[in-house]
Chain A
């Protein structure tokens, strides 16, 4: 009993120490002042209280396993405020993933990838996802946003690795369209599939998706084991293609969709122009997976 209490206290102390050092580290990542904008209050949020700060939007970051969010407000007299949100996502894969939720086609040249639109710059580097937003967009705020971004970028010394699944999809879709995620809601936000979770997506699954130049939507999902992949395969077939034995079917819009399985990985292709194209794409992705896995 005493040993368990001691162990519990030790875990608590370690967690508190991590939190303290992590907050201190993140505080030092952002500048005190940029072009006359001075940093005001800084606040921290974790999974328990993120909804106090960004309401339902917190679900997005929780679905990507975020650990800690630091928010800082920069103010300058007579100018719009700038808000910096720095997310420690816990892993570079999830930092990349949350970035891909709203990614654009052209990189803004910050971090490992970035996107600027409408007074908002988002970028990712290592396990960090960063959002810098001006309450009103003009040249002055844009310059300040990029300067803050560069300072944060420079404070993150190492780059992070991309999710391994990316290698399986890059040859078959436009690279800029690639998304990484775990959750059913995120899939539906990119490509509405069903109100039900017909692929059994969740915390224990990794998924990449993207669009090809021909308008096909390609989805690759990795499950913890083959049993779970087979179960999801069967569920998809019975929900989306009942009666299909080949896992290939012409849809109501005249296009073809199909599903394939390779060990613990499902491969799905939607909106192909023909049965042959759909089948061929699934087979080629399977070959790619086999080849890549063989190299591991």
Chain B
């Protein structure tokens, strides 16, 4: 309201289509679309509760990337973002309740190899990235993790996934982890991320208790949000979680902690557009219950 200070009143002023959790969304009408994000879903992606069909997973990633790059062949699409002489770190996530599915990791590794990158220059890691030789020498990163609410950052998405690139993650906790986007300026990361994949197979839309997890608050969405800009991909993830919360709770129930870091990553660190009225969300596959 006063100069330089954003308060509740700024959100009230923005009117309909805003989300008080901390992100400004001024509606979905397409105008001057700056960025694209692919939302792909397949209703058959689950084989069982925690197993996924590897062929469908592969197809989902390939199709999304083909649409994103404008190529009509998976390998050609992957070759637009990677070269055979790249050293590739695949930043995964090992959170016990909701890790990056191995089928997704394997699908990515398969294509990276097919691009021509030898196995010794490919690594999948999360908590060990700072000690990992491949990550230390990486020329390219693929960022992949599941979508969930987060106790102190609002959501766990692509921006937050790079927290392991600092030896002191707790220093980024103040102000609901607002400065997470700063991680993307570190030399080990800067300008290396070629693709962001936010997995929404079974997102957590409401966390409870010290462990911030309950089977009661996940749902089978069977989707992935894929794009080049992490803040844009995360903004779509925030929207999805918010829509699910509205549907489940029957009211606009803001996240416990506003996902301010996504907004800050977009505006301060230039990591993507977070105003979804300026983003083209291209949808592929299963449409039932899409929410967005």
Contact = CB atoms under 8 A, between A and B. Distances in A.
B5 A51 contact: no
A131 B210 contact: yes
A251 B14 CA distance: 12
Nearest to B173: A59
B256 interface: yes
Nearest to A189: B256
A189 B215 contact: no
Contact of B210 (A57, A198, A238): A57
A160 interface: no
A194 B9 CA distance: 9
A60 B152 contact: yes
A61 B212 CA distance: 13
B151 A240 contact: no
Dominant secondary structure of chain B at its interface with chain A: loop
A192 B209 contact: no
Contacts of B13: 252
A240 to B, nearest CB: 5
Contacts of A193: 7-8
**Size category, B interface:** 35 or more
A55 B12 CA distance: 33
B47 interface: no
A195 B2 contact: no
B6 A118 contact: no
B210 A194 contact: no
B151 A57 contact: yes
Given A57-B151, A131-B210, A195-B175, A253 B1 contact: no
B175 A56 contact: no
B170 A136 contact: no
A240 B169 contact: no
Interface string A191-228: 11111101000000000000000000000000000000
Interface in A217-262: 238-242, 251-253
B211 A198 contact: no
Contact of B21 (A57, A119, A136, A192): A192
A196 B15 CA distance: 21
Nearest to B1: A240
B5 A54 contact: no
B216 A119 contact: yes
Nearest to A69: B210
B278 interface: no
B209 A194 contact: no
A110 B173 CA distance: 33
A149 interface: no
Contacts of A168: none
B8 to A, nearest CB: 6
B8 A185 contact: no
A137 B8 CA distance: 38
Name the residue among B13, B15, B215 with the largest chain A CB count within 10 angstroms. Answer: B215
B1 to A, nearest CB: 6
Contacts of B6: 194-196
A275 interface: no
Interface string A92-129: 00000000011000000000000001111010000000
Contact of B217 (A101, A118, A135, A196): A118
B179 to A, nearest CB: 12
Contacts of A135: 215
A169 B258 CA distance: 26
Given A133-B210, A240-B8, A253-B12, 7 more contacts: A56-B150, A61-B210, A119-B214, A195-B7, A198-B5, A239-B1, A252-B12
Interface of A: 51, 54-61, 83, 85, 101-102, 117-120, 122, 131, 133, 135-137, 185, 188-189, 191-196, 198, 238-242, 251-253
